[in-house]
Chain A
Amino acid sequence: MISDDDLLLYYYRDGLDATERARIATALAEQPELAQRLHRLVAQLDTAADMPDVPVPAHIQRRWQVALTTRARPRPSFRWQALAATVAVLAILATVWVSMRPAPERIANEPSQPAASAPETVAYERGLRWHLASTEQRLANLESAQPDERAQLIDAIIEQNRMYALAAERANEPQLARVLRAFAPILESLADERRESAASDIAQLSFELRIMQARLKAEAEPSSTAQPIAL
């Protein structure tokens, strides 16, 4: 008896040794009903896999083009932006490490307590606040930046924003992740400094960043009666 699993592997020409393949090939040649079974099986799976393609949204397509253009642009050999970004990331990592390191007395007093996620959350929120503030500051610097510097600033903001969107997702903050992702197409469109709406986009982004910072701050204050972050 040849199983459907083996029939499938035979169809894929994968995962069977030569002896097994030969045995199934002989059986298929001799038994029309087996060949029909294989045909039905493949047809079913083709149906399952037959999902029509969906078009790529225009803003996503534009985002990819901008990302590629930015990456392909010749860069100076030494980049202060890269150095600044590296220092910032190292600072975040150091903060996370220090926050997550248990105090000696806690180790002694709480031997069986599971690891708390609070320090990690605090570090994450601190990092997020830093990201929002530094993004606002960088946006403010855009207007006075030279074209090359402007592109690098936007590049750095986008990369940092992507990193925090992923972090938000991991921190189980899907709404925050969505909001951060929603910034991406606007940030990418800022790369085109000729756009007439660039200034209003920057103003709008800065406004939204300030709102997010205010909400985070309100949530962090212990006496506050603020609601959880509703973005």
Chain B
Amino acid sequence: MLTSLKSWTRPDSFHAVLSERSVRWYNACLRITRDADLAADAVQEALLKAWDRRDEFRGDSELDTWIHRIALNAAIDLMRRRRPQAEDELDADLLLAAPHRSPHNEYVQQAMGRDLITAMQRLTAMERQTFVLKHVEGWRLEEIAESLQTNANNTKQALFRAVRKLRVDLDVWRGES
């Protein structure tokens, strides 16, 4: 009984959930970082952190959900550790400097759609992260604030700014199509 209850402590449970759900983790991290390498690093960090802390996992949520959340926090952490200046350069890289783009990043850009990329491009890192965590991931404002190391009011304002910018850009896009 105990063995079956603690099945998540076995490597095969982790490998199984990795095979099934890693696309979801990776894409969630990609929306946060907008960088394929950082997203891959975030998932790997999350996976290893989850394995190291598997005894803390109580099993009251899915292993997938638990790792997903750790991955998002890892993605935010990687973004924070990256210098803001470097991030700006990366953003410019992603859209403009084709020779510096990796084939995978190029593929990501095509798949996500240039219009959405452009709309997201106008958001600051905090606005983008707040919007993704709130609208896509359904985190509470307090949880987002804690993860982004700010307060709930700043988070709320970042969300409102993101929404306003996205609506303007998507209205333009719709008007042209």
Contacts and interface: CB of A to CB of B under 8 A. Distances in A.
A18 interface: no
Contacts of B47: 64, 67-68
Contacts, number: 115
A60 interface: yes
Interface in B77-135: 81-83, 85-86, 89-90, 93, 100, 102, 104, 107-108, 111-113, 116, 119-120, 131-132, 134-135
Contacts of B68: none
A14 B135 CA distance: 11
A44 interface: yes
B102 A178 contact: yes
Contact of B27 (A4, A5, A53): A53
A182 B135 CA distance: 34
A47 B136 CA distance: 11
A60 B38 CA distance: 12
Interface string A22-41: 00000000000000000001
B63 interface: no
Nearest to B119: A48
A171 to B, nearest CB: 9
B22 A169 contact: no
A52 B116 CA distance: 11
Contacts of A102: none
A8 interface: yes
Contacts of A54: 26-27, 30, 107-108, 111-112
Interface in B15-43: 15, 18, 22-24, 26-27, 30-31, 36-37, 40-41, 43
A8 B135 CA distance: 10
A61 B166 contact: no
Contacts of B31: 51
A162 B111 CA distance: 28
Given A60-B40, A72-B51, A172 B27 contact: no
Size range of the interface on A?
35 or more
A68 B15 contact: yes
Contacts of B100: 174-175
Contacts of A41: 163, 167
A181 interface: yes
Contacts of B134: 12, 14
Contact of B160 (A5, A53, A172, A181): A5
Contacts of A169: 82-83, 86
Residue from the set A12, A14, A61 with the largest chain B CB neighbour count within 10 Å? A14
B63 to A, nearest CB: 13
Interface of B: 11, 14-15, 18, 22-24, 26-27, 30-31, 36-37, 40-41, 43-44, 47-48, 51-52, 81-83, 85-86, 89-90, 93, 100, 102, 104, 107-108, 111-113, 116, 119-120, 131-132, 134-136, 140-141, 152, 156, 159-160, 163, 166-167, 170-171
Given A41-B167, A56-B23, A169-B83, 9 more contacts: A8-B159, A53-B24, A54-B111, A63-B44, A64-B44, A67-B44, A71-B51, A169-B82, A174-B93
